[in-house]
Structure 1
Amino acid sequence: MGKRQARIFAKDIPIKLLDLVNKEVNILLKNGTVFHGIIKNTAGSAIHLTDMLGRKHIVEMSLIAEIILDIESLY
């Protein structure tokens, strides 16, 4: 199986955010910082993310440039 990437830009995040809960993602901030982990929930204007080491991060949506999601494909 292969993988494809879905890129969700800042303007589309509020629309698609509920579909991303419990998904493994990369969150790219406007300053170039990248967080990798699983979105656990959302609260107001923030995303609660748990990274692969079990650390919890709260990321304000106003700081996010895009969210990148890997999707498995058939090839």
Structure 2
Amino acid sequence: MHKDFDKKFSIGSAARKDKLHTCLSSYKNSKTMSVQSMSWPEKSVDAALRACWTLNKHQTPFSDSEIVKECILEVATA
């Protein structure tokens, strides 16, 4: 999608830094808008899926305290 990015914006240039900053802020704004538009049930499903993803990633039971901590952090940031 951005195959000409390196040609248009050379590495280390000010134009590249500005473009990356613009893209990053645009991404953060769109992410914020999508999270704010989610309803309470959608947010709870998202949090549950994050916890399930963490459990599946480690392939360990929920009784491991480190996994519980990681799941809680995932749910809290959802």
Q: TM-score, normalised by structure 1?
A: 0.23
Q: Could you say which structure has the greater relative contact order, defined with CA pairs below 8 angstroms and 6 or more residues apart?
A: 1
Max Rg structure: 2
Q: Which has the higher strand share?
A: 1
